[in-house]
Chains A and B, each alone.
Chain A
């Protein structure tokens, strides 16, 4: 075959192999409401008695050892620190035992399946149901693939101030969980995955309404809707709502809708608004003030909504509001120290984070985060050096944090 023909074949192979879809494991549709129904919810003290660090007696090949288990609302999360492997289940007491049903995910490969866990009366269920910490607690389970699990509780969890921020509302889980990034649905789920805060991306529509969206343009990667195509800033909000949905079918939320959901429906303590467009700063600042008043009225004074400053352009747009709006600065630490309402300095992980600079920021009442950190070794390293991490894998960070 001539070189020309070989070249043509290669071009065609490349074109034919382009596939915008990510590999994903089996669809896991777990009707949590159905699972909740035949069981009685545990009390808060019972849930607390189940929270803890567990030795993996059986199932080490799947979960590694140890794992961290914790209730988040009505969902029981078991997170591995070995890899991005976690289980989310729901349930409660059924007679004298505890029954949980849910799914297990191996995020990096997209694999997963259903899983069931049981705590029998002889394994500590009676005490947990009564709301007291048992002397000995074992959780036994089995996955859809036939892997048997046995977890033995070793110790409880100590509260940690280390902040775990979920990227784009929920991180890489959005690719494989059937919930879109930057959606209200994903933000609601971030807490279940262990996040204490979320980072969301903000864009401005043509009629100056801030919405949650990451890309500059609408494309089949992120939205459904044949006619929603091209730059976000070309469309009015009503057009966006009428013509498209996020890739998994959710409405494209406005910033206000998303933040009201954070305030009303979650206990997330921090929201990082990632703003790339300087023209979005003014509308976001105005909305930020309104939302903080709303949060305060709802008893959510613990919530911080921070305007992210990633560039000099956004900084210039923010400076007229620097006395009024809380911010998170990604630029040099000097900028973070100079701005009176900067609450967090958040350099990218590739920037050298000097311990002396971190100490100076902490002494001034500011926190230090870094982003986006996904590797196990890097997460462990940064835990000793900063106050929080933005990650695509909140379950991994939480497992590493709580097992220390």
Chain B
């Protein structure tokens, strides 16, 4: 994984260094996506069970600065609901039932390359992981933690107007510390609010 990552970055750096876009317009592009989320867990979500997958959903916003180069840099954020479970506590007296949710907010630096409508990139940085536990006759419990993760995305944008593009996007998120990999197929909507 590490070697593939290094190779990809070196290629991106080399290509962007070697090729100056013929379009010398600088622009800020904002991309929004909303999608379902399929999540794979390294360990069962709840100990004592076998469930290692979950179905969630999320939306994200990505603001990228495109100088007159192939390589763009920006920030990536959003909100994902990763997993939700109803959990009972067998063997614990008194037995209680809980409604548990795991969600996440990415707070990442994003890098991407864009050419002929295609965009490939990655986000690096922390995720704010959040949990919420309801039920059991006690007050709602919330917890949060910043953890490092990586986001990989690839998309194609069909031109709708001068500054607007729409198209499919596939995103893969590695919550490496937590042992979760998520796949998000989505529709992305791209706008250039600023060109200069």
Contact = CB atoms under 8 A, between A and B. Distances in A.
Interface of A: 1-2, 5, 8-9, 11-13, 15-20, 206-207, 217-220, 224-231, 234-236, 238-239, 241-245, 249
A12 B9 contact: yes
B13 A236 contact: no
27 contacts: A5-B16, A8-B9, A8-B111, A9-B9, A9-B10, A12-B6, A12-B124, A18-B148, A206-B138, A219-B145, A220-B177, A220-B179, A224-B47, A225-B45, A229-B102, A229-B143, A230-B143, A235-B133, A235-B143, A238-B89, A239-B89, A241-B89, A242-B88, A242-B92, A242-B98, A243-B100, A245-B48
A13 B94 CA distance: 49
B102 A226 contact: yes
B87 interface: yes
A226 B45 contact: yes
A236 B138 contact: yes
Given A227-B46, A229-B145, A242-B96, 17 more contacts: A1-B10, A1-B14, A5-B17, A8-B9, A12-B6, A15-B150, A20-B177, A217-B145, A220-B177, A224-B43, A226-B45, A226-B102, A229-B144, A231-B143, A241-B91, A243-B87, A245-B48
B129 interface: yes
B116 interface: no
A84 to B, nearest CB: 28
Given A227-B87, A242-B89, A16 B2 contact: yes
Nearest to A242: B89
Contacts of B178: 220, 226
A238 B92 contact: yes
B1 A226 contact: no
A229 B131 contact: yes
Contact of A243 (B1, B46, B124, B176): B46
A16 B5 contact: yes
Contacts of B141: 206, 234-236, 239
B2 A13 contact: yes
B172 interface: no
B83 interface: yes
Interface string B33-52: 00000000101111110000
Interface of B: 1-2, 5-6, 9-10, 13-14, 16-17, 41, 43-48, 83, 85, 87-89, 91-92, 94, 96, 98, 100-102, 111, 124, 129-131, 133, 136, 138, 141-145, 148, 150, 176-180
Contact of A13 (B6, B17, B83): B6
Contacts of B148: 15, 18
A11 B124 contact: yes
A80 to B, nearest CB: 35
B1 A239 contact: no
A242 B9 CA distance: 43
B63 to A, nearest CB: 18
Given A226-B178, A238-B136, A245-B47, A12 B143 contact: no
A279 to B, nearest CB: 18
A228 B41 CA distance: 14
Nearest to A19: B176
Given A220-B177, A242-B96, A245-B47, A230 B145 contact: yes
Contacts of B83: 226-227
A230 B92 contact: no
Contacts of A243: 46, 87, 98, 100, 133
Nearest to A227: B100
B82 to A, nearest CB: 8
B87 to A, nearest CB: 6
Nearest to A218: B143
Contacts of A8: 9, 13, 111
Contacts of A19: 176
Contacts of A229: 102, 129-131, 143-145
A307 B16 CA distance: 62
A226 B6 CA distance: 30
B133 A227 contact: yes
Nearest to B82: A226
Contact of A225 (B46, B138, B144): B46
A237 B169 CA distance: 43
Contacts of B101: 227
A18 B143 contact: no
Nearest to B109: A11
Contacts of B89: 238-239, 241-242
Contacts of B13: 1-2, 5, 8-9
B138 A227 contact: no
Nearest to A235: B141
Contacts of B150: 15-16
B45 A227 contact: yes
A230 B131 CA distance: 8
Given A220-B178, A236-B138, A227 B5 contact: no
Contacts of A5: 13, 16-17
Interface centre among B43, B44, B102 (most CB of A within 10 A): B43
B1 A16 contact: yes
Nearest to A217: B145
Q: Pick the 5 closest A-B CB pairs, nearest first.
A: A230-B143, A242-B89, A5-B13, A245-B47, A227-B100
